[in-house]
Amino acid sequence: MVTELSAERIIEAQGLGRRFGHQEALADIDLQVERGEIFGILGPDGAGKTTLMQLLAAILDPTAGRCRVLGFDTVRESSQVTDRIGYMSQGFTLYDRLSVEENLAFSARIRGVPDAAYRLRRQRLLQMAGLHDAVDREARVLSGGMRKKLSLCTNLIHEPELLLLDELSLGVDPLSRQELWKMLRTFRDSGMTIVLTTPYMDEAQACDRLAFLHRGHLLAMDSPMALSDRARGRVYEVVTARLAEVHDILSAAPEVISGQWLADRYRFQLDNDDGLSEALRMKLHYLGVPHPTTPDLENAFVQLTAQPTDRLATTDSLHTASAPAAPATAIAATEISVRFGNFSAVNQVSFRIAAGEVVGWLGPNGAGKTTLIRVLCGLQRPSSGEAEIAGLPLATASAQIKARIGYMSQRFSLYPDLSVIENLRFFAGVYGLSGQRRRDAIRWVKPLVGIDDLDVSRTNALSGAMRQRLALACAIMHQPSVLFLDEPTSGVDPMARRRFWQLIQWLARSGMAILVTTHYLEEAYYCHRLGLMHNGRLIALGTLDELRSALQPPDPGAPMDSVFMAYITRPSSTAGVVG
């Protein structure tokens, strides 16, 4: 029986559901959001997060149940809802040919904001967002972080009671994310209610409460601490240099539902809270002593959504081929610079990466990371400097180098109208594979990345996680010596991210050198070394422990986000390299 909805809550939904034809996107959602809280919605690809946000925004009508937002029924009183909320979709609409000032003024006019109020709010929002010096720039020339901040400002200009944000910080660097969250907390403290979806567990941790969605159903709703505590007693670590052996032991243990093959340790999760069995403890004992560790939200996510198919694969099942022998130094860059007129996108960058090494490349938007990778792939000519890739000089052997590298770009350069197998065949040809070599490469790579049952599926119909796997397959099927990954896990859920990094660690173990850029700082723990770029310069390079030790004062236990911010914001961040 449906009870009366409470008008005291900002959002209250009962039995909410939505179908698209025969497909059920959401079912039986009971949800309450209180005034003045930041409420996060989490879930894997296809969980129904965006559909739920559109129901709350009165953009979609439910096909079951009912929902009140700010006291108004989202179907019968939809205009009352839309007038009083701010809604920022994943595409965050801005008018690219309008300036920052013009975008703000237009948003104020269509919301009916009086001129006097607009002038006051404009000043405050520009100051909070750090956009004062950019008011005359067109939106299309802003960095990703600045665009997100401007879009947020356009949704705040009418001072809504409720702000709905669908993956606000997707693809935004850690510095800009911190600035966005500072704005959100300020408005939350003034009484605004904020509901957001996010793929980032550190952002979820900053929410007051969270809802976990999976396949259209609400699995849990509680505070971040209470949700993390659900995995207490189930999470263990083994610190060892013999990580592959630990991985294979755990992959054969039926009680292990998930694992993280990190740079210096293996972290794993059990499917029960009875503790580590004596048999498994003894098998691990000779490789490293397993000890319980504090669970986090990612562990709660795994516990709620893990499926039998998520269990670990053995390295034996993956080891059907290996990267060709490469020189001990896979990448050697010396004084690389890239200039566009008077602007230096990359400024005298030098470093070396060994075969079998995973190096994470971090930095704010516009730091020069993607430009540097394009140089090393032979897609961008450097203004000065030189490099060797897989033992070959970049300046004179670019054609041969392309056969020895793999490149996975930020936007997964796939052909959306082609099927999975058609994309694989096309990219095999790009890398010079044909006939039996092409058939063998495709036969090897499909089970490796987990796409062996998707041959006829259209690429544009795949989930983000499956497109990610296909893009990786296309980049490695020719077994390159060096692999470049430019923000490969942007927007994917924790389970997909773990599976991806399991593959990366195995590829490195086979001898492949891997350079990966990321905005998700937790991924730094998977990398053997880290490079930090800022304003085109390489400002730090070393292991995480080396970077911590070089802080002033040294901080041996500093988390990665603190290390990142310390280097990026220090006055000397334009010179000097650690490690």
Contact 234, 295 (CB under 8 A): yes
Query: Does residue 319 carry a pLDDT above 80?
Result: no
The interaxial angle of helices 435-449 and 464-476, nearest 10 deg, is 140
Structure tokens at 139: 């939106």
In angstroms, what CA-CA distances link 332 with 476, 535, 538? 21, 21, 14
Name 69's bridge partners. 11, 72
Instruction: Find where tokens 């499926």 sit.
Output: 307
Give domain status of residue 341, yes or no. yes
- Check pLDDT > 50 for residue 574: no
Residues 545, 437, single domain; the answer is yes
Tell me: do 107 and 211 sit in the same domain.
yes
What residues form DSSP beta bridges with 346?
338
pLDDT-derived band at 75, boundaries 50, 70, 90: very high
Average pLDDT over residues 268-293: 91
Domain C-terminal end among 227, 247, 267: 227
Strand partners, 266: 238, 261
Q: Map residue 453 onto helix, strand or coil.
A: coil
Measured CA to CA, the distance from residue 232 to residue 215 in angstroms comes to: 25
Task: List, in sequence order, every beta strand (DSSP E) within 53-128.
Answer: 64-69, 72-73, 85-88
Asked if the model's pLDDT at residue 225 lies above 80, the reply is: yes
Would you say 534 and 373 are in contact if contact means Cβ atoms under 8 Å apart? no
Q: What is the CATH number of the domain that holds 308?
A: 3.30.70
DSSP reduced 3-state for 187: helix
The two beta strands, 405-408 and 256-261, are unpaired
Say if residue 270 is in the same domain as residue 362: no
- Over 90: is that where the pLDDT of 144 sits? no
pLDDT of residue 303: 87
Residue 543 counted as domain residue = yes
- Which has more pLDDT, 570 or 542? 542
Of the two residues 325 and 85, the one the predictor is more confident about is 85
Residues sharing a CB contact under 8 Å with residue 328, sequence separation 6 or more, in sequence order: 354, 355
Angle between helix axes 144-156 and 100-110 (nearest 10 degrees) is 30
Find the mean pLDDT for residues 45-55.
Answer: 90
pLDDT of residue 249: 92
* The pair of three-digit structure tokens given for residue 382, joined into one six-digit string: 């450097």
Which residue(s) pair with 31 in the sheet?
13
Sheet containing strand 23-33, strands side by side: 23-33, 11-20, 64-69, 72-73
Handedness of CA 197, 199, 200, 205 (dihedral sign): positive
**Encoding tokens for residue 273?**
């809270």
On whether both 380 and 518 belong to a single domain, the answer is yes
Domain of 246 in residue numbering reads as 230-312
Identify whether residues 197 and 299 lie together within a single domain. Answer: no
Arithmetic mean of pLDDT, 431-452: 89
Amino acid code (one letter) for 213? L
Does the pLDDT value for residue 309 go beyond 80? no
Indicate the pLDDT class of residue 325, thresholds 50, 70 and 90.
low
Q: List, in sequence order, the alpha helices (H) in 230-314.
A: 243-251, 278-285, 297-305
- Quick check: is 321 in a domain? no
Pick the last residue of a domain from 227, 257, 282: 227
- Output the domain CATH number for residue 89: 3.40.50.300
- Per-residue pLDDT, 575: 42
Q: Whole-angstrom distance between the N-terminal and C-terminal Cα of the chain?
A: 65
**Would you say residue 269 lies in a domain?**
yes
In which band, very low, low, confident or very high, does the pLDDT at 495 lie, cut at 50, 70 and 90? confident
List the one residue out of 86, 93, 33, 30 whose CA is nearest residue 58: 86
Question: Residue 481's pLDDT is what?
Answer: 93
Residues 194-220, mean pLDDT to the nearest whole number = 91
Highest mean pLDDT among 37-51, 136-150, 348-362, 444-458: 348-362
Look up residue 579 and give its DSSP letter: -
Cβ-based neighbour number of residue 239 at 10 Å: 16
308: which DSSP letter? G
pLDDT at 55: 96
Region 370-384: mean pLDDT is 91
Residues 6 or more apart whose CB falls under 8 angstroms from that of 37 comprise 188, 193, 194, 208, 209
Do residues 148 and 180 lie in contact, with contact meaning Cβ atoms separated by under 8 Å? yes
Structural domain includes residue 577? no
Report which listed range, 176-180, 381-385, 448-452, is most confident: 381-385
Q: Judge if 277 and 395 occupy the same domain.
A: no
Report how far residue 236's alpha carbon sits from residue 277's, in angstroms, rounded to the nearest whole number: 12
Nearest to 351 by CA among 371, 337, 332: 332
Residue 319 lies in a domain: no
Q: Say if residue 70's pLDDT is above 50.
A: yes
pLDDT score for 316:
55
578 φ/ψ angles, rounded to the nearest 5 degrees: -90, 145
Q: How far apart are CA 444 and CA 318, in angstroms?
A: 9
Q: Among 227, 250, 277, give the residue marking a domain's end.
A: 227
Burial of residue 141 (number of CB atoms within 10 Å: 0-12, 13-18, 19+): exposed
User: 58 and 163, same structural domain?
Assistant: yes
For residue 273, count other CB atoms closer than 10 A to its CB. 11
Evaluate whether residue 254 is within a structural domain: yes
Q: What is the mean pLDDT of residues 187-199?
A: 91
Identity of the amino acid at 345: A
| Two structure tokens written together for 478 | 């020719």
- Give the total number of structural domains in the chain: 3
Q: Say if residue 91 is in the same domain as residue 216.
A: yes
C-alpha to C-alpha distances, 478 to 428, 474, 483, nearest whole angstrom: 7, 8, 11
What is the rounded distance in angstroms from the CA atom of residue 32 to the CA atom of residue 14? Answer: 9
Whether residues 480 and 536 share a domain: the answer is yes
Mean pLDDT of the chain: 88
Q: Is 318 inside a domain boundary? A: no
Same domain for 240 and 223: no
Same structural domain, 301 and 428? no
- The pLDDT-based confidence of 576 (bands split at 50, 70, 90) is very low
Predicted confidence band of residue 54 (pLDDT cuts 50, 70, 90): very high
CA distance 128 to 203: 19
Residue 328 to residue 90: CA distance in whole angstroms:
43
Q: What is the DSSP letter of 522?
A: G
Q: How much is the average pLDDT of 546-567?
A: 90
Q: Residue length, the chain? A: 579
Left, alpha or beta for 62 (phi > 0: left; psi -120 to 50: alpha)? beta
Same-domain status, 535 and 489 = yes
The 8-class DSSP code of residue 315 comes to: H
